[in-house]
Every structure is written in C-alpha cells, then in structure tokens.
Amino acid sequence: MKGHSGKGAVRSVKNSLKISPIFIFVTICGFAFYLGKLFCSENKISLNDSKIDKDVFIAPLRITPVEFPECGMEYQDYTPCTDPKRWKKYGRYRLRFMERHCPGINERKACLIPPPDWYKLPIKWPESRNQCWYRNVPYDWINKEKSNQHWLKKEGELFIFPGGGTMFPNGVAEYVNLIIDLIPGMKDGSVRTAIDTGCGVASWGGDLLDRGVLTISLAPRDNHQAQVQFALERGIPAILGILSTNRLPFPENSFDMAHCSRCLIPWTEFGGIYLLEIHRILRPGGFWVLSGPPVNYENRWHGWNTTIAEQKSNLDDLNKLLNSMCFKLYAQKDDIAVWKKASDNSCYDELIKSVDYPEICNDGTDPDAAWYEPLRRCISVPNPKYKKISLDSTPKWPARLHIAPERVSIIPGGNTGTFNHDNIKWTSRLEHYKNLLPALGSNSIRNVMDMNTLYGGFAAALIDDPVWVMNVVSSYGSQTLGIVYDRGLIGTNHDWCEAFSTYPRTYDLLHVDGLFTKESHRHVLFFYTLLLIN
C-alpha cells in the first residue's frame, strides 16, 4: 500500500472502453446484480423449506445475455441504503434517519448508474491525494461554507485539497505532527490502524498514509455533500457511516487509534453510548484522540457560542465518563487531548465491584456482532483468553502483517498452519493476476475491494503496491475481520444482499474469491450492489 508517483489520466470515458480483464469484472458483477434483483429476498431461506424445488439446484446453469437500462441522471450519485430522499420515513432521534435503511426488494433499482456529465477518469495516485476533477464530484457546498478552513478550493476544472480542517486550518501535516508528539508509537509501527469519525474530506487519513498508519475515514451522507465521495476520489480509504443507534460494522478490539476533530458527536449524551462504541472497537491499550470542544476550553470557549463554566462542566463530565470506561488521560497539548484504553482487565475487575455507570455487558450478546446490532449502554470487557491482543503486546508494523494472530483460533480449523498457507496461496495467485491484469500493481489501480476475504491474504500480498484494500467479511459467515485488523489491515462486515456503503464509481477493482460458494446456503446469486469499476 505504498504510494508511487505517476501522471494523472485525463481522457473521456467513451474513449476508455476496451475489452479487458476489467471489463470482464464489470460483466460478472453486473450479471450477478441482475440475478440478485430477481432472487434475493430480505428474509433468510432455509434449506429445509418444502416450497423450494430441489431440482433447481442440480439443473445445469443456463446463461443468457442481459441488457441493463440506464438510470436517469438524478441517480448519478445514488446510495440506496443512505438515500436522502427516504430520510423522512425514519425518526430523527439520534439522527437515526442517516443510518442504513435499504429499500425493499420491490423498490430496488435494476439499472446502470450514469457518471456525471463530462466525467473524466480519476487522477492517478499519488497526485489524486491533492486534487481531483471537479466534474467527478461537482459539489460546491464545502468549498463555499468551509473556505476559511481550507478543506478544499476550486481552481478551474480541479478541486484542490490544501489539507485544512476545522481544527487545523493551517494544514493537516502540522496537526498530525502535534499528535505524534503526544503518541510516539505512531512513529515506530506500534500504531497501525485508525478510524476517523466525522472525517471531513479525509485529509487526516490521507496524511497518515505516508506515516505508516492506515485509516478508515467515516462520515454520513449529510449536508456537507459528498465527504466520503471526495475521500474515495482522492484514493483515501473511506466508508459511509454514522454513530447513531446501531453498532459500527467492525468487531471489537479492531483499531489501534480513534480520532475526532470537532466531529460534533455528543459524546457525553445518551449515557455515553457513543463512547461505549468507540471503547468496543478500540484495541486494549489503544488511543482516543479528541480536538475541539471542550478541550482547551480556557482559551477557546469564547469562539464556541457558550460560557467558560459550561465548557468546564462538559470537560469534567467527559473525563468522568472516560474514567468509568477504563480510559486514562494519556497526554494533552493545546487543542488536542489523548486518552488511552486500559491494556489489561484489572480496571474492569474493579468496575464490577462499583455501582457507577456504565454496567458490564452480561446479556450474552456477541461483542463482535456488528451488522444491524443495536448499541448498548454497557461496557464490553476484552476476552481474557487473548493475551496478545493489547496494543502493548501486538507486534509492530510491518512485522504483524505476517504473524498469525491469536484470534485465528476462533475459525473452525484455524491455526498458524492454515494462516501461513493462506499467505503463500495469495502470493502465488497475485503473480498470475498481474500477468492477466498488468495494471494491477501500477498507479492505474488504487481503490481495491476484496469482497470475500478470510485472513486478508490478498491485501497482504498487495502490500508493496500503490493500492489500499477494503477487506469485506460476510455478516453471515465466520467473524474473521478481527484477524484482518490484528494484521494491520482494514475492512468491514457486509451482507451482499444489500448495497455497499459507498457511492458509485468509487472502486477501481473488485476481487471475488469463493463468495458464491460461501453464500450458496442462501440459494441464490445474491448481489445487490451499486459499485462500478472505472
């Protein structure tokens, strides 16, 4: 996932259509999408369902050509499960309307999403980090409303990303340097994976790529217009999402660091339920970084439309809440504060004896369950059987990429041997892939998705190429995503009967291995996704 220089590609989409392996990928995914439209049900189907004709499953597959109509231009940036046109159907409590709400099977669109008028192939990495074509993401809201904060600016046919933000208008590099001064582990490979909640245009995550930290930038589809779309157009990992009523689509103990730069999340409200979710997905010994209110309230309160007494009270409440979750203040300087999650379970042993909020989760819910799983007002205690899951015990990057994590044992048949075999297999396969698709490994392909990963072996084999990989683990299968994060890679849970949490045209390559076989118990070819390959 290293960055390499290269000149930006600028040519018309119409002139870029060629019969190539990439075109084959598009055809396969399109055909699967059509079949998913016909057969995929929102309800799970049992193999013992007497209504199903079992002859269907032994009859030879007949493939016939399929033509797809084109959607109207109003669908050029359609995100079906986070569609603003459907928000009025859902309650505003805790911004629930911004969560995933996928259309029913009769509402789903079976058409091809058009690009914006005069769409151009994206600028190649690494130039894309600092600029993108205006026509590809033709939205001016951030440019106009945040102009004094230097998120982005329009220059001719380009959007330029100076690296500014609400809390770092003078540049993200200087801001990240301040954080590294507070967390030295960001320099020596101790900290590898991060999540940025309320990411803006993902400049924080983009800057960290050169520092060996791989970040998932998270933001909802809201009035900021296309934050995640800007991030992915730049070649920076990002996904649509929001802290609201359901868990984020990650297992517990995933990230080494979580970050909020004035992300406007009400951390101390609703019994601290959002901080409890950060606690769940943060690795023991991991760091939570906050900049903005109420940090440094003594010098900043007058610009926050509040009083110094109110901000002092907010900071006191925040510290009390964090202490009750076994976080300790680790470091603070100016506008940035860092808390560290307990590295072992001794703190939680004391909490069990305490009557203070929050309670320890004891309802039997799997702390790794993360697909439409409601947030809970209780604290998840890390499983004590894992002795090396703490950030203090995890091998440093890049050594951790090739060491079998403890969590490999949760998979039936999983052990160091199967882990090493998976690595060897994908190293060998990648050589064949590159023979078939020479662009893989060059800066022509940047955003990659592995739609059915096990241990993240495909992503690990690509680690020296100028790509990043979104590793997807089925919400219906074994929870191996924790292993992916233990290796220092990133990914998400997903059910492929639903649209992925992204905009159209945001991935350059979709990789599929064993997905149809793995999901065959659901009796269908089940794709319902609006990802398009450039």
Q: List the alpha helices (DSSP H) in 193-334.
A: 203-209, 227-233, 273-281, 297-300, 308-324
pLDDT of 29 strictly over 70: no
pLDDT of 419 strictly over 50: yes
Distances in Å between the alpha carbon of 115 and those of 13, 226, 463?
9, 15, 30
Burial class (CB in 10 A: 0-12, 13-18, 19+), 424: exposed
Q: What is the pTM of this model?
A: 0.86
pLDDT at res. 351: 78
pLDDT of 528 strictly over 90: no
Q: Kindly report the average pLDDT of the chain as a whole number.
A: 85
226-234: average pLDDT:
93
Q: Indicate the residue type of 388.
A: K
The C-alpha atoms of residue 299 and residue 252 are separated, in whole angstroms, by 36
Q: Partners of 329 in the beta sheet?
A: 339
Instruction: Answer whether 431's CB lies under 8 Å from 453's CB.
Output: no
189: alpha, beta or left? (left if phi > 0; alpha if psi -120 to 50): left
Instruction: Answer whether 281's CB lies under 8 Å from 246's CB.
Output: no
Listing DSSP states for 97-110 in one string gives GGS--PPPTTT---
pLDDT of 63 strictly over 80: no
Reference 502, options 92, 200, 100, 2; nearest CA is 100
Q: What is the pLDDT of residues 68-95, one digit of tens each?
A: 899 999 999 999 999 999 999 998 999 9
344-370: average pLDDT:
84
Q: What is the pLDDT of residues 91-142, one digit of tens each?
A: 899 999 999 999 998 898 889 998 988 899 999 999 999 999 999 998 887 7
333-342: average pLDDT:
96
Q: What is the pLDDT of residues 192-208, one digit of tens each?
A: 999 999 888 899 999 99
Tokens 């947030």, located at residue: 375
Label residue 34 by pLDDT band (50, 70, 90).
very low
Q: At 47, list the tokens.
A: 């193999």
pLDDT at res. 357: 66
pLDDT of 21 strictly over 80: no
Q: Indicate the residue type of 426.
A: W
Q: At 368, list the tokens.
A: 């790794």
pLDDT at res. 364: 84
Q: What is the pLDDT of residues 459-505, one digit of tens each?
A: 999 999 999 999 999 998 889 999 999 999 999 999 998 999 999 99
The C-alpha atoms of residue 394 and residue 402 are separated, in whole angstroms, by 12
Instruction: Answer whether 197's CB lies under 8 Å from 259's CB.
Output: yes
Specify the long-range contacts of residues 351-360, CB closer than 8 Å, at least 24 apart. 351/324, 351/326, 351/379, 356/324, 357/271, 357/272, 357/324, 358/271, 358/272, 358/276, 358/324, 358/325
Q: At 186, list the tokens.
A: 């960001």
pLDDT of 450 strictly over 70: yes
Q: At 357, list the tokens.
A: 């909020």
Taking the domains of the chain in order of start, what are their residue ranges? 73-519
pLDDT of 52 strictly over 90: no
Most confident of 1-10, 158-167, 233-242, 508-517: 233-242
Tokens 């698709």, located at residue: 437
CATH code for residues 73-519: 3.40.50.150
The C-alpha atoms of residue 69 and residue 242 are separated, in whole angstroms, by 32
Give, in degrees to the nearest 5, the angle at Cα 235 between 230 and 240.
Answer: 50
pLDDT at res. 31: 44
Label residue 365 by pLDDT band (50, 70, 90).
confident
Q: What are phi and psi of 183, to 5 degrees?
A: -125, 85
Q: List the alpha helices (DSSP H) in 234-307.
A: 273-281, 297-300
- Is 44 or 81 the better-scoring residue by pLDDT? 81
Listing DSSP states for 436-484 in one string gives H-TTBTBTT--EEEETT-SSSHHHHHTTTSS-EEEEEEETTS---HHHH
The C-alpha atoms of residue 76 and residue 159 are separated, in whole angstroms, by 19
365-379: average pLDDT:
94
pLDDT at res. 350: 83
Q: At 429, list the tokens.
A: 């396969």
